Structure 1
C-alpha cells in the first residue's frame, strides 16, 4: 500500500491506499442529487486525461489542439487541466484544510471550479481539490505535481484480478433500494453505448436474449437504428464460455486494476468494454434476496418468501453526458459516418 505526501514539506496527506481502475462513472452523476464517495475506502485511481480548470472554448482551441487534449469532435469547452490527477475517497484524506475563497459550488457543496481548494496543513501549499456538490460523486483529487507517492509500510492486499469479478460483492445491481435505476448503471451504459456506436459506425445490432437484452435493449434502441444487416453481439469475459458461433461484437469487462478491456483468445472480434461491476451482474446475477437468512438451504434451492424489490417505472436510460463525453474522446468519431451520426444526435438533443 502507498501514501501520498506533500511534495513541499513531506506531510502525509492520505491514509494507506492501493491502486484500482478509474471508475467509468467518475465524472457522471445524477443532477440535483447528493452522491456517496466515488472510491472505496483505502483505494485510489489515476485519471490519465486532462481534467478541471482551466477550460478553453473549442473555437479558440481548434481541432488539432483539442485532439492533443484527447477530444476529437467539437464541444463547448476543452479542459487544459493536469493529467494524472489522483482520486481518493474523502475519508482517506489527511492533514488538509479548505482554502478560504476557493470553495465555490452550485448549490449543495463545492465543485472545484476555481481550482485546488485544499491546502497542506504543514506548509499551506495547495495540494488537492474536494468535490461534493450535487450531481458529483464525493472525491478528493490530489494534484500530481503537488504530491509524491511513498510506500506506507503496511502490507499490500493482493491486487484485483479478473477472478474478483466472480465475487458476489463485485456485482452492481441495476436498481437502487428506492426503486430507481442505479446512477452507476446509467453512466456505465452511456459509456458502453458510445463504444458500441463507434464499433458499429451507427449500424443495427442484435443483443443476446436474457439480461443483456432486457436491461440494455431500450437504451440501444434509442441510439442505434433497426433494420437488415444487424451485427451480432454477445457477452464474453473471464469465467464464462465464449459464445459460439463467435458474435461480431463482444461485450466484455474492464480489468478491475488496469481498466483495460478483456480480450478473447486470438482477439478475433471487436469488443465493447463494460464497467466491471455491471458486467459481473450480467454474467453472474446470482441470488438477490434483500433479507438476511440463517441456517443453510439445500444446494440449488432459492428463497422465494421475500417481496420483490421495487422496479423503476421507466426503462433504463443512458446518462447523456456520459455518452457524449465518451464519444468525443474516441478517435473513430472523426470518420464521416460517425460525424453525421453525432451531428444528427446533437440536433435531436436540442429539440
Structure 2
C-alpha cells in the first residue's frame, strides 16, 4: 500500500491506499447532476495526461507538439504541465486544508489548485466536487511524495472478476458510468472498423453500441463483427472486433485467443454485465408460489454514449489522421450535428 506525503515538510496527506487502474470515466464532464466519488475508498489511480498550467489554445500548438502529447486531431487546447497526477476519493485525504478563495466552481470546486498541506501551507492539489464532475482529490506529482507502507495484500484471485455495473439507475436514467465507458470504447471500435459497416448482435450491445455505429459508419453489408470476449466467456466464433475487459488493477486489456481479433478495452464492470447479465424474473410463477420480484429497470430514453469522451479518445488515436475517421471526428464536433442528435436522442 501507499501513503502520499507533502514534498515540502513530509506530512502525511492520505490514508494508506492501493493503486488501481484509472477509470475510463475519469475525464467525463457535462453531467447535470451531482456525481459520486470517482474511486472507491482506499484506492488511488494515476492520470498520465497533463492537467496543470499553463493552458495553451490549439492555435498556439504545432502538430509536432500535439503529437508529442499524444493528440492527433484539433482540440480546444491542452494543458502543458506534467502528467502523473494522483486521484483518490476525497475521504482518503489527511492533514489537508481547503483554500476557500480558490473553490470557485458552479456549485462547489471545479478543480482549481485549492488544497494545501495543513502543516506547511504548500499547495498540494485540488478538491473536485462540482455538480458536473466526479468527486475526487487530485494531488500534483511535484507536490507530493509516494511512501510505501505495510498493509493488506490484494484479495485472492487474478483480479479479472468485477461486480457488474447495472446500466440503468433507479430513476430511469442510463448510468453515467455506462455512458462514459461506451463512449471511450466506441472510439477504438470506430478505428478498428476501417470505415466499413460493423455487425452488432441484437440486445443490449446493439442498444449501446450498434445505433451509434449505424449512424456514423456507411450503410451496407457488414464487413466486420463486434462482440464480447474475455475470461470465462468464449464466443464461437470470436468476433473480429472484441470488446474485452480492462483489468481493474492495472488497466491492461484482456487478450483474446484469436490472433485475428482486435481487442477493444471496456470498463470491467460494464463488460461483466454485458457478458453475464443477471437472470430476469419470469412473468409466470409455479402454481402455489407467490413472490414480489422487482421487474428489471427500463430506461426512459434511448442510450447516448458520452460524446465528450468519444471525441477525447478519438483525438488521441493516431488513426484519426486517416481522412475517413477525421471526417467522423469533425462531424461529432459540429454544433449543428450535436443539437440535432440531442433532439433525436442519438449521437
Give CA deviations for 1:319-346 in whole Å, capped at 9, x if unaligned: 1101111110111111222122223333
- SS of residue paired to 1:46: strand
Q: Which consecutive residues of structure 2, in runs of 5 or more, have no partner in the other structure?
A: 282-288, 341-347
Aligned-partner Cα distance in 1 for 2:237–2:151: 48
Structure 2 match to 1:237: 230
- SS of residue paired to 2:192: helix
Q: Check the 8 A contact 1:4/1:149 in 2, yes or no.
A: yes
Structure 2 match to 1:208: 201
Structure 2 match to 1:95: 95
Aligned-partner Cα distance in 2 for 1:272–1:262: 9
Structure 1 match to 2:169: 176
Structure 1 match to 2:285: none
Q: CA deviation at 1:33?
A: 1.2
Aligned-partner Cα distance in 2 for 1:252–1:349: 29
Q: Check the 8 A contact 1:56/1:79 in 2, yes or no.
A: yes
Moved more, 71-80 or 223-232: 223-232
Structure 2 match to 1:250: 242
Aligned-partner Cα distance in 2 for 1:4–1:267: 41
Structure 2 match to 1:35: 35
Aligned-partner Cα distance in 1 for 2:327–2:114: 41
Q: CA deviation at 1:218?
A: 2.6
1:98-117 correspondence runs (5 A): 98-105=98-105, 107-113=106-112, 116-117=113-114
Structure 1 match to 2:312: 325
Q: Check the 8 A contact 1:30/1:183 in 2, yes or no.
A: no
Q: Check the 8 A contact 2:160/2:247 in 1, yes or no.
A: no
When normalised by structure 2's length, the TM-score is 0.89
Q: CA deviation at 1:287?
A: 3.9
2:153 aligned to 152, 156, 172, which one? 156
Aligned-partner Cα distance in 2 for 1:337–1:30: 27
Moved more, 304-313 or 137-146: 304-313
**Is residue 349 of structure 1 aligned with residue 327 of structure 2?**
no
Aligned-partner Cα distance in 1 for 2:56–2:29: 23
Which aligned runs of 4 or more in structure 1 are off by greater than 6 angstroms?
Answer: none
Q: Check the 8 A contact 2:3/2:16 in 1, yes or no.
A: yes
1:190-201 correspondence runs (5 A): 190-201=183-194
Aligned-partner Cα distance in 2 for 1:58–1:89: 32
1:112-131 correspondence runs (5 A): 112-113=111-112, 116-131=113-128
**Is residue 142 of structure 1 aligned with residue 135 of structure 2?**
no
RMSD of Structure 2 on Structure 1 (CA): 2.1
Q: Check the 8 A contact 1:218/1:317 in 2, yes or no.
A: no
Aligned-partner Cα distance in 2 for 1:309–1:245: 30
- SS of residue paired to 1:4: strand
Moved more, 30-39 or 7-16: 30-39
Q: Which consecutive residues of structure 1, in runs of 5 or more, have no partner in the other structure?
A: 290-301
Q: Check the 8 A contact 2:159/2:247 in 1, yes or no.
A: yes
Distance 1:320 1:159, change over 3 A: farther
Aligned-partner Cα distance in 2 for 1:287–1:41: 30
How many residues align? The count is 331
Structure 1 match to 2:344: none
Q: CA deviation at 1:288?
A: 6.7
When normalised by structure 1's length, the TM-score is 0.88
Q: CA deviation at 1:58?
A: 0.5
1:263 aligned to 255, 258, 268, which one? 255
2:264 aligned to 246, 253, 272, which one? 272
- SS of residue paired to 1:324: helix
Aligned-partner Cα distance in 1 for 2:225–2:180: 23
